[in-house]
Structure formats: structure tokens, C-alpha cells
Amino acid sequence: MTGALVAFAPIWSLTGLGYLLSRFAVLGERADTVLTRFAFTVAMPAVLFSTLIDTPFSALLNPGLIAFACATAVTGLIGLAASWAVFRRGLAERTVSGMAACYINAANLGIPVVLTVLGDASFIVAVLLLQTLVMMPAMLALLETGRPRDGAGRWRTLLLLPVRNPIIAASVLGVLVGTTGLRPPEVVLRPIHTLGDAGVAVALLVLGMSLAAGGRQLGLPGDTGEPRRAERALVVTLKSVVQPAVAFGIGSLVDLPRPALLAAVLCSALPTAQNVFIAASRYGVDVRFVRDCVLLSTLVSMGMLSLIAAVLGS
């Protein structure tokens, strides 16, 4: 329990700092917009590249990854389908809801939690590769598709996405460097690592600033209405309860060893990543909704992570 609290401390403290910075206009009125753009185009790509340059493709060869990937796919599809069939959202909104239900906080929260509970970061690195090389490109491609464009312009945008989008480009480049072993000189890597160190903090500050800029707090009068609260509750339930439950069911069905099962279920219970919030902010889709899902799933995950570690780690 202490390890989980330590892992959550920087999330809540930096989010709170971002809230205070925005609440008292310390950085100016448009600081949240500028920092969101900075996080998406500069800081988070530096985080991904710095993480992936030491990670070859062989890191994906983990038996528990199958259970995690299947649980992620099932949960994400449920969230997307519910957003379409029940709440009648458009393509971009459905995409964001589906990702908020299954895209875990693998980097700044998953790594310390997994190291604390498992003592080994190899599984979370495999998850990070899966998310950055498969899930994030898929989400951004769908968000691009949802933008109003002519047919030729849309396909040109999608084809150029790996080059034009800094998050995807940094992920692909990082894996190529990690696989080939052709590391850039230290004089090049040092400023990238420095930016990467700031990336997670900037993303969390943006999250807190959006809370103040939204003009409301969770659960208070003035919310966007009962249907939106219901959709938010569904997404948080899918992320915090359904995804780890599906991972446990699949892992038990294929008779995973206990350490691999614990890794798959534990990572499935991690909260929604602020990467989904950053992407939603960048494309102007459901920013308040995603912010609420990130905050609520982070709160709920503290209990779920402790419960899973206590039950499966014994």
C-alpha cells in the first residue's frame, strides 16, 4: 500500500500545482493551451524516445501480454460501442471514450507501481511498446479521420501521420534505435533526456490547469448533465474494474504462471493515461470528460491496485 501511495504522490501533487497555477493565473490566461501544445509536440515525444531507445522488439515476448492485450481490446471496444449505441457520440468522441476505458498510464505511474510490486519493469515496457506503436497511432488516425476533410486530403494526412505526428515519430524512432543499437552520441541524447524528465510533469500540470479552467469540480452542480455523468461512470468502471477482471479471466483460462498473471491484471488496473487527455486536448474533443475520467480512474485505481497486489501477490 505504501508503494502505491508513493507512486501516486507526484500525480496528485503536480496536478494540484497545475490547478493552483491556473486558479490564480500565475502563468497567464492561455498558459494551459500553450503547455498542452508543448506537451504534445515536444515533451511527451521526448519521454517516449528516452524510454524506448533501450527497448528492443524482443521485450514484447511476454506471456502475460496476451491477456493484457485481449482485455484492453475487449474493454476498449465495449467503451466505443456504448458511446455509439447508448450515448450517440460521433467518431472522435467514440474514439476518445474507448481509449479512456482501456489506455493505461504505463509510463509515469505504471513503471513505479510495477517496479514496487513486481521488482521488474520488463512487462510494463512491453505494454508501453504496445500502446505507443499500436494503440496511440490507431487513436490519432481515428481522430484525424473524424476531422472534416476532402477524401484525398484525409488519406494524405493518414499516410503522413507517422512522420507528421511527433508522438508516433518519436516512438518509431526510439524502437529503431533500441533494436539496432545505433545510439546517438551523448551530446544529442542529453537534451532529449532533459526534455523527457520534464514531459510527465508538464502533462500533469496541464491536467491540473484544465481542472481550474473548466470552472467546476467533479460531482458539483453545474455538471454537463445526468447522461454525461452516466457515460463517465461507465468509462471509469470499464477502466478500473472490467479491464482487470477480463485480464484475470483470460489469464486464468490460459493458465498463466502467477507472476505473469499478476503483471497482466495489475497493469490492466492502472488508471487512464494523461496521454489520452493530451490527445483529446490537442484535437479539441471531450477535454472535460477525459479529464474527469483520468482523475476518477486514478482515484479508484489506488484501491484496486492495492487489492490486486494483496490477492495475487500473496
pLDDT tens sequence across 239-268: 999 999 999 999 999 999 988 999 999 999
173 within domain boundaries: yes
Rounded to two decimals, the pTM is 0.72
pLDDT at 148: 59
**Number of folded domains in the chain?**
1
Supply the DSSP string of 123-181, one letter for each residue.
HHHHHHHHIIIIIHHHHHHHHHHTS---HHHHHHHHHTHHHH-HHHHHHHHHHHHHHH-
- pLDDT of 142-161, one tens digit each? 887 766 555 555 556 555 65
Contact 304, 240 (CB under 8 A): yes
pLDDT at 217: 45
99 within domain boundaries: yes
CATH number (domain holding residue 304): 1.20.1530.20
184 within domain boundaries: yes
289 within domain boundaries: yes
- pLDDT of 87-129, one tens digit each? 888 888 889 999 999 999 887 678 777 877 777 777 887 888 7
Long-range contacts of range 262-265, CB-CB < 8 Å, 24 or more positions apart?
A: 262/117, 262/118, 262/308, 262/309, 262/312, 262/313, 263/62, 263/64, 263/68, 263/114, 263/118, 263/123, 264/64, 264/65, 264/67, 264/68, 264/71, 264/123, 265/67, 265/308, 265/312
272 within domain boundaries: yes
pLDDT at 146: 63
pLDDT at 164: 65
Q: Is the pLDDT of residue 201 over 90?
A: no
Q: Is the pLDDT of residue 135 over 80?
A: yes
pLDDT at 237: 96
Q: Is the pLDDT of residue 60 over 70?
A: no
Q: Is the pLDDT of residue 4 over 60?
A: no
Q: Which three cell numbers stand for residue 197?
A: 524528465
297 within domain boundaries: yes
Most confident of 53-67, 91-105, 124-138, 218-232: 91-105
Higher pLDDT, 222 or 85: 85
Higher pLDDT, 174 or 8: 174
| Domain carrying residue 40 | 2-209+223-312
pLDDT at 291: 86
Higher pLDDT, 80 or 179: 80
215 within domain boundaries: no
Share of the chain above pLDDT 70, in %: 83
pLDDT at 222: 39
Q: Is the pLDDT of residue 216 over 50?
A: no
pLDDT at 266: 93
Share of the chain above pLDDT 90, in %: 23
216 within domain boundaries: no
Supply the DSSP string of 12-67, one letter for each residue.
HHHHHHHHHHHHTTSS-TTHHHHHHHHIIIIIHHHHHHHHHTT--GGGG--THHHH
